[in-house]
Structure 1
Amino acid sequence: MKKIVIVGGGAGGLQLATRLGKRLGKKNLAEITLIDQNRVHLWKPLLHEVVAGSLDTGAEALSYRAHSSENGYYYRMGSMIGLDKQNKNLTLAPLFDHHNKQVLAQRTVEYDYLVIAVGARSNDFGLAGVREHCTTLDSANEAEDFHLTFLNQFLKYSEESNEEIEHGEYNVPPQLPPVHIAIVGAGATGVELAAELYNAVDRLEQFGVKQIHHTSLQVTLIEAFERILPALPIALASKAQKALEQQGVRILTQTMVKDIQSQKLITADGEIKADLIVWAAGVKAPQFLSQLGLPTNRIHQLEIDSCLNVKGEDAIFAIGDCACLLNGDDKTARPIPPTAQAASQMAALCTYNLQAKLNGQPLKPFAYNDHGTLISLSRFQTLGNLLDELFKKHWMVEGKFAQWAYASLYRQHQMTLHGGWKLFWILLGSFIEKRVKPKLKLY
């Protein structure tokens, strides 16, 4: 029986494992294995909601082990660190627990076909201070950690403000300087996070946290490009900027960060002090990919051909953010964007091509279909552009329809993973939870 190994359980990797498990694994036509360093999966576009507390990972996270048992693939926990192409096996790093005690030694996993779908991380562009002084949102653990930091910062602010009022003699109660959060990168993640943070502060006020108001937060959004949301049309980006500024977001464009120190950003125009700094600028694939003897580009993405094979490799595929494939003709070719919709489309084609490999049939080339981009500014605004397949035209959308379309993206992902009947119960459970639980996670 052929062994298909998928490394990485993000949007693309998990959808691929699910499809192959149902079509091949359950029928004993192939042995499907999914390897990921985490025990649970959370859709990456939701991480900004985890930070703000608008989303509870306990309710939304998917257990790889439980999901694999229901969908015909096998889950192994681990991180890939090496590859032996000649003998067709990969190496997994030793596994340590939360007490830093070794659970598993270094292991090897054999394969007949390998799919690398390890995603990408924020690009620090060589700035040493990013990892030391900034928070990145590349995993659910990082988002949860920043969520607690955010809550603690406002707990401190509330107590200090209250003490000044109780121990002072004021005709007008004093107001401490607001908590300042700087976000570097005004793409979708940075923009959506800025809005969610203001929504979270408003919820804290509604829950009766003393001395917390909308103005207790100051968010500065920093972008090196000439405008925010470069992937969106100018008109939509302008609307998003206006909505953010109405909430109090300070937006600095054409601002390049030169250095990062503790609670301080150094730019060409001076210093920006902040209590917390979030780095959401650019992406790059994990560096170990450039050490496997496979072709990679300058940001460590694996170079793949039109059929999703790593260039020069017949048995190795790559999909998602860790893969680089040019889209368009030679003169206008641009890399396919590192988005969830691209990863999902790659997973669908990779499923077909792996089945074709097993059956000795020709492979199909990948054709990227851009369905548009949607941005959610929490409860304040949702907008974006959608591609009309019939007329090949982008339509600008906002308001309730855009909000519904944005929510449907995640539901489509869940539909692929769970099927229609189970999704119905998930939606019913979500409907009930929203009516019995607080609208903000406070722990």
Structure 2
Amino acid sequence: MPQTTPHRIVIVGGGAGGLELATRLGDRLGRRGKAEVTLIDKARTHLWKPLLHEVAAGSMDIDDHELEYMAQARWHHFHFRLGAMEGLDRARREVRVAPTFDEEGREVVPRRTFPYDTLVIAVGSVANDFGTPGVREHAIALDTEEDAARFNRRLINACIRANTQPGPVRPGQLHVAIIGAGATGVELAAELHRTTRLLAAYGLEKIDPDKHIRITVIDAAPRILPALPKRLSEATAKLLRKLEVDLFTGERVSRVTPEGVHTESGLCVPAELVVWAAGIKAPDFLAGLDGLETNRGNQLLVKTTLQTTLDPDVFAFGDCAACPWPGHDQTVPPRAQAAHQQASLLVKSLGRRLRGQPLPGYVYRDFGSLVSLGEYSTVGSLMGGITRGSLMIEGYFARLMYISLYKMHLLALHGFAKVALDTLARLITRRTEPHVKLH
């Protein structure tokens, strides 16, 4: 018998891909009553994850850029439900969502289940500390807005404490150790170099940034930014050293203590502020999720249609999915551009699914990588349709390309008019505000 009620599409995870998918499906299907679209996320607000290093460094105020899920749902004809997925019943086609509590431990939302006809899992990734001793206790991973804001508060408090304590600044007291020299670690190092000096200028007379504040990047790989061409990696390393950022490559971290970071070779880096940015994995709850296949990194195994290998009613995409990459000996890399491409495909695929038509396969298109070094520079490589091979870019043009990635994400969520007005408003207000967060 034909289905008389709207097709129930449940999307778990409101990151860049999940939120774009919910927004576009709401506009296409939800508004016309062809489907009931529901987005589930454990947070109440969304921030584009590549911006978290700016929040951590204090150069971006979350309040200026975060998006309220409830408002987005109202504007774009989908439902938002608060909570973290904790289980799945594929036989009953139900998602189990854990209860939500406030800061005082009181229950806000009870444990619930949500029925679905089509389930899309887009819960992203979290830091992988590889079981390294001391990481969970003494380091912060920039997985969420709360993590980034917590590190920024810790940084500000450390500076205020050092400025007001009776004795001199202790060795390592204002040192920042960043474990991981990928894009996040390198971007954070450059941004921190600028913001810590701005912070010290706001009445912290006792702190000499050149003397008391040190930034160190540590990685087990032989060079920083291993995903970029060697020339760009070397150019970035040269710039960071010019900023007096200490770089230690080929050093595998063995443990983190309250006083600093230790490596297998015996290196000890004094630092009371530590960020872990050395690896990612899918959330642990995905492992063995009602029998669905996963890999060692907890990623759900999917076909090129983005359907999980054992259940055609369950889709997964983004960092939490291991999608085949034909012609390569690896799966599609966990990158923002892949999640955006997959979300665009699923908008079409789920419309075809409702009409009973076959689903297209996903083909990853690598457009290159861009790494922002704040106001100092931007480096990257462009590939695909822009050039037949790989075009390495640096400087102002690369910076414009980097900014355009964020603007493309905003355009997918809000449309041109709102993005243009918000951009203009921020250009005006930015001139009257401190360029670093002070609280």
TM-score range (shorter-chain normalised) is over 0.9
Structure 2 length as normaliser, TM-score? 0.95
Deviations 1:102-133 (A, max 9, x none): 12221110000000000000111122421111
Tell me which amino acid in the other structure corresponds to 2:87: G
Q: Which residue of 2 aligns with 1:189?
A: 184
Separation in 1 of the partners of 2:244 and 2:209? 9
How large is the RMSD of aligned CA atoms in angstroms?
Answer: 1.4
Separation in 1 of the partners of 2:26 and 2:177? 43
Compute the displacement of 1:325 (Å): 1.2
**Is residue 288 of structure 2 the alignment partner of residue 277 of structure 1?**
no
Structure 1 length as normaliser, TM-score? 0.94
Structure 1 contact 266–272 (Cα < 8 Å) conserved: yes
**Is residue 72 of structure 2 the alignment partner of residue 82 of structure 1?**
no
Q: Which runs of 5+ in 1 are unaligned?
A: 165-173
Tell me which amino acid in the other structure corresponds to 2:295: N
Compute the displacement of 1:175 (Å): 7.4
1:202 is aligned, of 188, 197, 203, to: 197
Compute the displacement of 1:14 (Å): 0.2
1:296 is aligned, of 265, 279, 294, to: 294
Structure 1 contact 80–91 (Cα < 8 Å) conserved: yes
Q: Which residue of 1 aligns with 2:3?
A: none
Deviations 1:405-439 (A, max 9, x none): 11111000000000011111111111112111111
Tell me which amino acid in the other structure corresponds to 2:183: A
Deviations 1:244-298 (A, max 9, x none): 1111111111101122222332212223221111110110001110131210000
1:373 is aligned, of 347, 360, 369, to: 369
**Is residue 220 of structure 2 the alignment partner of residue 224 of structure 1?**
yes
1:31 is aligned, of 17, 29, 36, to: 36
Compute the displacement of 1:357 (Å): 0.5
| SS in structure 1 at match of 2:88 | strand
**Is residue 137 of structure 2 the alignment partner of residue 132 of structure 1?**
yes
Compute the displacement of 1:213 (Å): 3.6
| SS in structure 2 at match of 1:326 | coil
Separation in 1 of the partners of 2:259 and 2:407? 38
Deviations 1:77-106 (A, max 9, x none): 001111110110010011111111112221
Q: Which residue of 2 aligns with 1:168?
A: none
Count of aligned residue pairs for this structure pair: 430
1:407 is aligned, of 403, 418, 423, to: 403
**Is residue 390 of structure 2 the alignment partner of residue 385 of structure 1?**
no
Tell me which amino acid in the other structure corresponds to 1:220: T
Separation in 1 of the partners of 2:361 and 2:170? 59
Tell me which amino acid in the other structure corresponds to 2:184: T
Structure 2 contact 377–395 (Cα < 8 Å) conserved: yes
Tell me which amino acid in the other structure corresponds to 1:290: A
Q: Which residue of 1 aligns with 2:340?
A: 344
Structure 1 contact 204–212 (Cα < 8 Å) conserved: no
Structure 2 contact 22–38 (Cα < 8 Å) conserved: yes
Q: Which residue of 2 aligns with 1:20?
A: 25
| SS in structure 1 at match of 2:390 | strand
Tell me which amino acid in the other structure corresponds to 1:418: H
Q: Which residue of 2 aligns with 1:322?
A: 320
Separation in 2 of the partners of 1:208 and 1:232? 40
Deviations 1:376-417 (A, max 9, x none): 111111111112515422111111111111111100000000
Separation in 2 of the partners of 1:175 and 1:263? 14
Deviations 1:200-248 (A, max 9, x none): 1121244343133431311111100111101100000001111111111
Q: Which residue of 2 aligns with 1:49?
A: 54
Q: Which runs of 5+ in 2 are unaligned?
A: 1-5
Tell me which amino acid in the other structure corresponds to 2:88: L
Q: Which residue of 1 aligns with 2:349?
A: 353
Structure 2 contact 133–254 (Cα < 8 Å) conserved: no
Compute the displacement of 1:349 (Å): 0.6
* Higher mean C-alpha displacement, 115-124 vs 420-429: 420-429
Separation in 2 of the partners of 1:441 and 1:27? 43
Separation in 2 of the partners of 1:14 and 1:243? 36
| SS in structure 2 at match of 1:315 | strand
Separation in 1 of the partners of 2:28 and 2:233? 42
1:149 is aligned, of 140, 148, 154, to: 154
**Is residue 101 of structure 2 the alignment partner of residue 96 of structure 1?**
yes
Structure 1 contact 201–212 (Cα < 8 Å) conserved: no
Separation in 1 of the partners of 2:326 and 2:80? 36
**Stretches (4+) displaced over 6 A:** none
Tell me which amino acid in the other structure corresponds to 1:312: L
* 1:204-283 → structure 2 map (5 Å cutoff): 204-215=199-210, 216-270=212-266, 271-283=268-280
**Is residue 72 of structure 2 the alignment partner of residue 67 of structure 1?**
yes
Alpha-carbon distance change, 303 to 139 in structure 1, aligned in 2, over 3 angstroms = same
